[in-house]
Chain A
Amino acid sequence: MTTVSMTVNGKQISGEVEDRTLLSTFLRENQGLTGTHVGCDTSQCGACLVHMDGKAVKSCSMLAVQATGSAVTTIEGVSQNGQLHIMQKAFKENHGLQCGFCTPGMIMSAIDMIDRLGTDLDEKTIRHELEGNICRCTGYHNIVKAIKAAADEMAEVLEAAE
């Protein structure tokens, strides 16, 4: 057993884990943050996606101990002070989810996409960037629409701030 400590959604936490414990298992089982989902065993579906030190990582593909000392954000930490993130709102407003299982990973992936590439995203780029996230329900049509809408809204917010 090893002690791991990290910041999760702004809170300093630590826990005892077996060395081989995956970050996804640690978040779900030790921390009770079940919004991070596990949909595959081969690092392909992206349901487990979280942000670590500001970058998207698949939490099923790394050990909890590897996250020691880092700052992790899960879907539970995306809305601030009870306010939905623009991306969360856009998924709802554009019907970008059905069963909701892929949704946390999709939202985390989409936020990361805009962090990396900015808000000027076309459909082709969005589709290509979603390569690491599988959705079986929506056919992606409305997910792409939601991400585009959120990007546009974020661009407006940025512009207004300037």
Chain B
Amino acid sequence: MTAEGIGARVLRKEDKRFITGNGRYTDDMTMQRMGHAAFVRSTHAHARIKSINTDDAMKMPGVDAVLNGHQLVADGIGNIICGWMIHSKDGSPMNMGAYRALESETVRYVGQAIAVVVADTQQQARDAAEAVVVEYEDLPAVVDSLDALKDGAPQLHPEAAGNLIYDWEIGEEAPTDEAFANAAHVTRMDIDNNRLVPNPMEPRSALAHFDPSEEHYTLYTTSQNPHVARLVLSAFYNVAPENKLRVIAPDVGGGFGSKIFIYPEEIACLWATKRVGRPVKWTSDRTEAFLTDAHGRDHHSTAELALDANNKITGFRVKTVANLGAYMSLFSSSVPTYLYATLLSGQYNIPNIYANVKAVYTNTTPVDAYRGAGRPEATYVVERMMETAAKEVGMAPAEFRRINFVREFPHQTPVIMAYDAGDYEASLDAAMKAIDYDGFAQRRTQSEAAGKLRGIGMSCYIEACGIAPSQAVGSLGAGVGLWESAEVRVNAVGTIEVLTGSHSHGQGHETTFAQLVSDRLGLPTESISIVHGDTDKVQMGMGTYGSRSGAVGMSAIAKALDKVEAKAKKIAAHLMEASEGDIEIENGELKVTGTDKKLTFTEVSLAAYTAHNLPEGMEPGLKEGAFYDPTNFTFPAGCYICEVEVDPDTGVVSIENFVAADDFGTIINPMIVEGQVHGGLVQGIGQAMLEHTQYDEDGQLLTASYMDYTMPRADDVPSFTLETTVTECPGNPLGMKGCGEAGAIGSPPAVINAVTDALGIRDMNMPASPNRVWQLIQDNGMKEAAE
């Protein structure tokens, strides 16, 4: 342990370049002779393309080429894939419609790419894209998933009859039904989870370059997982073999899931750069981002909870319809299945669970993982149900949760997950204390005296992170392994480079990963550099999503460090004529226990490279790599409590207090972890109070800019009180669980439970916008009640 080791609030190494304007994001890059790409996009939600006329566009100044989908297919570029196979309950594989990077026959959502223009400047490319004339034959469109399932609904793909992608189930139906037959009380709710647009502040961007003499491509791109991008571009889109394709994800301005996927634009830029013989750059504008970045959430659910006479939960039955948009994005199929329904047990001991999920095509932007991915949807269903059931049976929400908590570990739920460690009561207690739960009644009286409605709501979330053991996810349909790789390179003078397959786009890996090394070797973080995001430097990796970089990425580093330490100890023992078992590493020195004999880490590193005096048969050098495959998911959990005040005259909800008590296991850098929680909370509060993606019935996106889609601003949210409880994760060497998504997972139900408590109502949908809240107040005659 060092001053900069595990648990220290080390300031971030990466900050300097960002605060001085020296960050290097994809759109900051330029190349000699670089051309700019702009896309011709569908203005119709559903239409057959009758013709594409590029004559005028081709004549415009600076235009090099206008390329379309026929040429793309002719050049052998493959269709866009979905990397997780889901089987319906009848055993049939999911029904997947063909998805091309450039569509030339039938468009299925507004914004779908049809052609790409390459010109000298971005403005010229955009002007020319506007001049391309696409003639459409309109087809009827459907935007809501429930409508899409109705008889007679417009059909999107011939491969998916009735727009049904899969009809999937988990858990045991018969025993669950029996629990309901014998229940003393049943709580039933219809619960929607609103569609969101991820909105990392850096828009997506791609810069592709082709070197004809080497037949080699380079792609700079806004990716959370450049190695996965290279694998997919190579193996499925036939852009180039892996050794002829280098993918670099430099500084990336936030991702939140939306930069996991390989989108049509990156494929088109790579393909176009060879055809036009110059580097090609494309950068999304914000409206394009709204139209084409994969959206999140969009579930309609019906949930039922069965209780016995003692208010213990005996059964949980959930039916969910998930809107996946017009095409299946890379991991879309896994989100409403294995990332969602496997968490429906929440923090509770529920003997019988049955869930049925139907995934549906609609004429909307594809939907895929967005911060939390499935787990926010599960938590929202579970925690809205818990709060409502408690009220229906006349119990305090905390007490009702307490009597149903899982208390023994490991705990096998009926929906695959085996929880390994946790103490749910500890986080509940910590949160209730921090918010002064007992003082709420008095605060409510004060609010009432001021003509305001006050409410309090809680949410006890659990999530599964780290995704996951490769073999396990493979058996569930994943097309990739979900391990992580690391390489620790010790230089001759004892400084260190750590190469990692994780990717940082705001998470601060350059700092936290260095802290781990510092902790182990006792070296200052200053002398430890983290290398990531470049397929030429790091051999292979699975990237950053699902809060996996700590639990999986750092575990790989820990494993590589084990090997480095072992070799360094051998060398030190040899040099000091001691036995290997007597060498310990402390403060950057290798010491012989119980003596004053020691060598600095630098001396040992140098010895490894001069190789003048190494143990018999040892190879020179000090560099070790490791792959780490977890043994289980990790299970971060916690309790969030939100207290709101509602102005009955305007419907404006203000969050008066928000407490988050989280158990993330071992924490490397509390400052960074708190930052992750703050950011997640505001995304979750954004969903609950402000954000909403709205299509009109023709499939036009009404919320396609910051004028119409309400992003949380600084004065929409409060400062937060954070509490930490710790149970270490037994599944990885560091005891880490992951913290990146918790805030977004746990907060929406806490907010809505608080708002419904303030209004004294049972049901409401997100977001709790002033308009909706005001309407609810009018409908329920509460304004008078408050006065």
Q: Hey, which bits of chain A sit against chain B, CB under 8 A? A: 18, 20, 28-29, 33-42, 44-45, 47, 74-76, 78-79, 84, 88, 91-93, 95, 97-104, 107, 123-124, 126-128, 130-131, 133-145
**Contact: B256 with A136, CB < 8 Å?**
yes
* CB proximity to A under 8 Å, residues B698-754: 705-707, 711-715, 717, 719-720, 743
**Contact: B19 with A97, CB < 8 Å?**
yes
B720 interface neighbour in A28, A136, A141, Cβ under 8 Å = A141
Which of B101-109, B159-167, B611-619, B677-685 has 4 or more CB atoms under 8 Å from chain A? B677-685
- B339 CB, min distance to chain A CBs, angstroms: 21
**Contact: B672 with A95, CB < 8 Å?**
yes
Residues of A within 8 A of B679 (CB): 98, 136-139
B254 close to chain A: CB less than 8 A: yes
**Contact: B15 with A97, CB < 8 Å?**
yes
Residues of B within 8 A of A133 (CB): 713-714
B11 close to chain A: CB less than 8 A: yes
- Apart from A35-B21, A44-B706, A101-B254, 14 more pairs, CB < 8 Å: A36-B21, A41-B287, A42-B705, A45-B286, A74-B21, A92-B15, A98-B507, A99-B251, A100-B18, A133-B714, A134-B711, A135-B714, A140-B713, A141-B675
**Contact: A84 with B506, CB < 8 Å?**
no
Q: In the docked arrangement, what's the CA distance between A133 and B505, Å?
A: 19
Contact flags (1/0) for B272-305 with A, using CB distance below 8 Å? Answer: 0000000000000111000000000000000000
Looking at B123, B506, B671, the one whose CB has the most chain A CB atoms below 10 A away is B506
Q: In the docked arrangement, what's the CA distance between A130 and B713, Å?
A: 8
Closest 9 CB pairs of A and B: A35-B21, A100-B18, A101-B253, A99-B506, A139-B678, A139-B682, A75-B21, A98-B506, A34-B28
**Contact: B287 with A88, CB < 8 Å?**
no
Residues of A within 8 A of B252 (CB): 99
**Contact: B707 with A136, CB < 8 Å?**
no
**Contact: B719 with A141, CB < 8 Å?**
yes
- A38 CB, min distance to chain B CBs, angstroms: 8
B451 close to chain A: CB less than 8 A: no
- A135 CB, min distance to chain B CBs, angstroms: 7
Looking at A76, A102, A139, the one whose CB has the most chain B CB atoms below 10 A away is A139
Interface size on B, residues (CB 8 A): 58
B23 close to chain A: CB less than 8 A: yes
**Contact: B715 with A130, CB < 8 Å?**
yes
* CB proximity to A under 8 Å, residues B237-290: 251-254, 256, 285-287
Residues of B within 8 A of A140 (CB): 678, 682, 712-714, 717
**Contact: A39 with B202, CB < 8 Å?**
yes
**Contact: A40 with B15, CB < 8 Å?**
no
B609 close to chain A: CB less than 8 A: no
**Contact: A130 with B705, CB < 8 Å?**
no
Contact flags (1/0) for B492-523 with A, using CB distance below 8 Å? Answer: 00000000000001111000000000000000
**Contact: B675 with A91, CB < 8 Å?**
no
Residue of B nearest to A87 (CB): B19
Looking at B15, B199, B251, B681, the one whose CB has the most chain A CB atoms below 10 A away is B15
Q: In the docked arrangement, what's the CA distance between A126 and B719, Å?
A: 12
**Contact: B683 with A136, CB < 8 Å?**
yes
Q: In the docked arrangement, what's the CA distance between A54 and B628, Å?
A: 53
Q: In the docked arrangement, what's the CA distance between A107 and B21, Å?
A: 10
**Contact: A99 with B202, CB < 8 Å?**
yes
Residues of B within 8 A of A37 (CB): 25, 201-202, 253
- B684 CB, min distance to chain A CBs, angstroms: 10
Q: In the docked arrangement, what's the CA distance between A75 and B18, Å?
A: 10
**Contact: B717 with A100, CB < 8 Å?**
no
Q: In the docked arrangement, what's the CA distance between A91 and B671, Å?
A: 13
Residue of B nearest to A91 (CB): B19
Q: In the docked arrangement, what's the CA distance between A137 and B678, Å?
A: 8
Q: In the docked arrangement, what's the CA distance between A79 and B28, Å?
A: 21
- B376 CB, min distance to chain A CBs, angstroms: 16
- B384 CB, min distance to chain A CBs, angstroms: 23
Residues of A within 8 A of B715 (CB): 124, 127-128, 130-131
Q: In the docked arrangement, what's the CA distance between A8 and B304, Å?
A: 63
A-B contact pairs, 20 of them (CB 8 A): A37-B201, A38-B203, A40-B706, A41-B705, A44-B707, A45-B706, A47-B201, A100-B14, A100-B23, A100-B506, A101-B202, A134-B201, A135-B201, A136-B199, A139-B675, A139-B677, A139-B680, A141-B719, A144-B714, A145-B719
Q: In the docked arrangement, what's the CA distance between A74 and B20, Å?
A: 10
B443 close to chain A: CB less than 8 A: no
B16 close to chain A: CB less than 8 A: yes
B32 close to chain A: CB less than 8 A: no
Contact flags (1/0) for B1-16 with A, using CB distance below 8 Å? Answer: 0000000000110111
**Contact: A138 with B286, CB < 8 Å?**
no
Q: In the docked arrangement, what's the CA distance between A20 and B717, Å?
A: 37
**Contact: A136 with B19, CB < 8 Å?**
no
Q: In the docked arrangement, what's the CA distance between A84 and B672, Å?
A: 22
A95 interface neighbour in B12, B21, B251, B253, Cβ under 8 Å = B12
Residues of B within 8 A of A88 (CB): 19-20
Known: A92-B12, A130-B714. A139 touches B706 (CB 8 A): no
Contact flags (1/0) for B171-214 with A, using CB distance below 8 Å? Answer: 00000000000000000000000000001111100000000000
Residues of B within 8 A of A102 (CB): 201
Residue of B nearest to A79 (CB): B20
**Contact: A84 with B19, CB < 8 Å?**
yes
Q: In the docked arrangement, what's the CA distance between A42 and B289, Å?
A: 13
**Contact: B11 with A127, CB < 8 Å?**
no
Q: In the docked arrangement, what's the CA distance between A45 and B201, Å?
A: 8
Known: A39-B202, A97-B15. A136 touches B21 (CB 8 A): no
Residues of B within 8 A of A136 (CB): 199-201, 254, 256, 679, 683, 711
**Contact: B707 with A35, CB < 8 Å?**
no
Residues of A within 8 A of B287 (CB): 41
Known: A45-B706, A101-B253, A128-B715. A39 touches B203 (CB 8 A): yes
**Contact: B20 with A95, CB < 8 Å?**
no
- B123 CB, min distance to chain A CBs, angstroms: 7
B22 close to chain A: CB less than 8 A: yes
Residues of A within 8 A of B712 (CB): 140
Residues of A within 8 A of B681 (CB): 139
Known: A131-B713, A140-B682. A42 touches B706 (CB 8 A): yes
Known: A99-B253, A135-B201, A137-B254. A41 touches B286 (CB 8 A): yes
Known: A131-B714, A138-B679. A35 touches B505 (CB 8 A): no
Residues of A within 8 A of B202 (CB): 37, 39, 99, 101
Residues of B within 8 A of A91 (CB): 15, 19
Q: In the docked arrangement, what's the CA distance between A38 and B284, Å?
A: 10
**Contact: B719 with A123, CB < 8 Å?**
yes
Residues of B within 8 A of A143 (CB): 714
Contact flags (1/0) for B132-166 with A, using CB distance below 8 Å? Answer: 00000000000000000000000000000000000
Q: In the docked arrangement, what's the CA distance between A134 and B705, Å?
A: 13
Q: In the docked arrangement, what's the CA distance between A138 and B14, Å?
A: 15
Q: In the docked arrangement, what's the CA distance between A158 and B558, Å?
A: 48
**Contact: B254 with A40, CB < 8 Å?**
no
Looking at B12, B201, B720, the one whose CB has the most chain A CB atoms below 10 A away is B201
Q: In the docked arrangement, what's the CA distance between A78 and B228, Å?
A: 38
Q: In the docked arrangement, what's the CA distance between A79 and B16, Å?
A: 11
A35 interface neighbour in B20, B705, B706, B717, Cβ under 8 Å = B20
Residues of A within 8 A of B22 (CB): 35, 76
Residues of A within 8 A of B201 (CB): 37, 39, 45, 47, 99, 101-102, 134-137
A20 interface neighbour in B18, B123, B505, Cβ under 8 Å = B123
**Contact: B21 with A33, CB < 8 Å?**
yes
Residue of A nearest to B23 (CB): A100
Q: In the docked arrangement, what's the CA distance between A98 and B285, Å?
A: 22
Q: In the docked arrangement, what's the CA distance between A100 and B200, Å?
A: 11
- B29 CB, min distance to chain A CBs, angstroms: 9
Q: In the docked arrangement, what's the CA distance between A94 and B287, Å?
A: 32
- A153 CB, min distance to chain B CBs, angstroms: 15
Q: In the docked arrangement, what's the CA distance between A39 and B705, Å?
A: 11
- A72 CB, min distance to chain B CBs, angstroms: 13
Residues of B within 8 A of A20 (CB): 123
